[in-house]
């Protein structure tokens, strides 16, 4: 199985900050990586698919980059409503596997 | 508009079989490339993909649960099902059903149900 190492586990930032979250698969997954946002008590929401494609309806302050074994989710200007836990997912090969999550809070 | 909703027992005893139903609308499991996946999340922890049932009836299961998983579908009633045998406390989690497409270019896991909490306790 492909292991997904996500960092950091916790992140504290201020409104307006640029925030980056990283995900490193244990092997090459091409560009088959998605990012999800999960707010407390809710189901995950798809933000970015296939490394850098913005899902419909998601604000443009969210962006994704990377390929192979190194991926990044960037929030260009943090907003209060972005407080959540963020997960990456590889869908290059079965079983699909998730990162452990990054909990983002406001400073 | 794609919607999904899980239903299940809420609580069950160790060694019993968990049966979950996903009722959905906005797509058909008879359409080429469509699927429904099951993903679970223990409270405060990460996400684990369990299984996917495809339009053609083929299942993909996470082998980490060995042979405990069975997924199936009722196309005419727009439902998918998950069974987990011999449950124990480690199976306590929120279980989600998720719209899935076979096409690699499509946004994967874009639509999720609200989740159903399953507690395994004696």
Q: For A70-80, how does the pLDDT look when each residue is reduced to its tens digit (9 = 90+)?
A: 999 999 999 99
| Cα nearest neighbour of A30 on chain B | B104
| Mean predicted confidence (pLDDT) in B65-73 | 92
Average pLDDT rounded to a whole number, residues A91-107: 96
Please say whether the beta carbons of B37 and B52 come within 8 A: yes
- Mean pLDDT is highest, among A66-70, B60-64, B100-104, for A66-70
Strand partners, B118: B93
Write out the two tokens for B44: 């405060």
pLDDT at B106: 85
> CB-based contacts of B107: which residues, under 8 Å, 6+ apart?
A34, A46, A49, A50, A53, A55, B101
Q: Name which of A46, A97, A100 is nearest B107 (Cβ-Cβ).
A: A46
Contacts of A97 in chain B (CB under 8 A): 49
Closest CA to B18 of B122, B111, B119: B119
| pLDDT tens digits along A30-52 | 999 999 999 999 999 999 999 99
Instruction: Flag whether pLDDT at B66 surpasses 80.
Output: no
Strand order in the sheet with B3-7: B3-7, B18-25, B79-84, B69-74
B65 phi and psi angles, rounded to 5 deg: -95, 15
Of B63, B104, B115, nearest to A43 by CB-CB distance is B115
Chain A residues in contact with B64 by the CB 8 A cut-off are 1, 95
């Amino acid at each position: 199985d492909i292991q997904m190492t996500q960092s950091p586990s916790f992140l504290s930032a201020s409104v307006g900050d640029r925030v980056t979250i990283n995900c490193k698969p244990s092997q090459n997954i091409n560009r088959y990586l998605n990012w999800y946002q999960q707010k407390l008590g809710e189901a995950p929401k798809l933000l970015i698919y296939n490394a850098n494609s913005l899902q419909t309806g998601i604000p443009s302050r969210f962006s994704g980059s990377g390929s192979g074994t190194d991926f990044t989710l960037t929030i260009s200007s943090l907003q209060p409503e972005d407080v959540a836990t963020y997960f990456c997912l590889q869908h290059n090969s079965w079983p699909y596997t998730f990162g452990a999550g990054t909990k983002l809070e406001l400073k | 508009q794609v919607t999904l909703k899980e239903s299940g027992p809420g609580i069950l005893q160790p060694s019993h079989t968990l049966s979950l139903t996903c009722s959905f609308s906005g797509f058909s499991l008879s359409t080429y490339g469509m699927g429904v996946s099951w993903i679970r999340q223990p409270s405060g922890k990460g996400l684990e993909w369990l299984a996917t049932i495809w339009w053609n009836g083929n299942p993909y299961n996470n082998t980490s649960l060995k042979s405990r998983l069975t997924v199936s579908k009722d196309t005419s009633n727009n439902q998918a099902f998950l069974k987990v045998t011999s449950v124990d406390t480690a199976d306590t989690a929120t279980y989600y059903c998720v719209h899935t497409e076979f096409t690699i270019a499509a946004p994967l896991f874009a639509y999720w149900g609200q989740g159903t909490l399953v507690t395994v306790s004696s």
